[in-house]
Amino acid sequence: MAGQSDPHISIFTPAEVEFLAEDELVEIVPNIRMDALNMICGDFGPFFPQISTKVPIWLAVALKKRGKCSVRPPEWMSVERLTHVLEAERESPREFQPLPFHYIELSKLLFEKAHDDIPDIYMVRSLIEDIRDVRFHKVEMGLEKISGRTHAVKLKNLSAMEVNIVRPFMVRALQAFYKHGSPEMIQQPESTVSRTQVLDRGPRRDLRPR
């Protein structure tokens, strides 16, 4: 989807966002001995068996594929933490809970490549799906409220993949609203007192309470 009809909106495909997420660090427990890897992005220390180290996910996945390590799931990926986050998401209809920026891509990668290292994987998987649904629903509810008066939209704690999904739509919707609401089109300001008046709270439309 990198080449859409409007060349001014640059979009990442989901695979590209996943590629960017692979730089996140994760803990692994190697079962071999290896010298330090000195790379441009950093040095990843000598690997000793049963001593856990932090490496980027792409390296962890590569080692796991060759059977040289086992991945320890990050601490946000436990059933209790995710249940807690899900309840908090459901309770606050305008805020997004803080979650790791790449949680969708990280969880997909770990489910695919390291599914035997995660306890209760089905539970974790369904919890993450639910969290994703609830958050996206909130994004949609917030998008319904933008109107001609909106100058900017603020979405706090949104994750990379969610941003990527709504980006083309939101940019174009804001452009269209700007075009329709520009002053030379609206020559009688009192006639625009319409249903948007009750929702208007000023020039900036936050999607969370200030």
Residue numbers at the binding site for another protein (CB under 8 A): 1, 4-6, 9, 11, 13-15, 18, 108, 112, 136, 140, 143-144, 147-148, 161, 164-169, 172-173, 176-177, 179-181, 184-188, 191-192, 194, 196
Q: Which is nearer to another protein, 30 or 142 (CB)?
A: 142
Residues in the chain: 210
Q: Which is nearer to another protein, 84 or 179 (CB)?
A: 179
Q: Which is nearer to another protein, 12 or 52 (CB)?
A: 12
The least CB distance from residue 139 to another protein, in Å, is: 9
By the 8 A CB rule, do 11 and 2 touch? yes
Report d(CA 5, CA 11) in Å as an integer: 11
By the 8 A CB rule, do 37 and 2 touch? no
The least CB distance from residue 103 to another protein, in Å, is: 13
By the 8 A CB rule, do 104 and 161 touch? yes
Element (H, E) at 38: strand 37-39
Q: Which is nearer to another protein, 44 or 105 (CB)?
A: 105
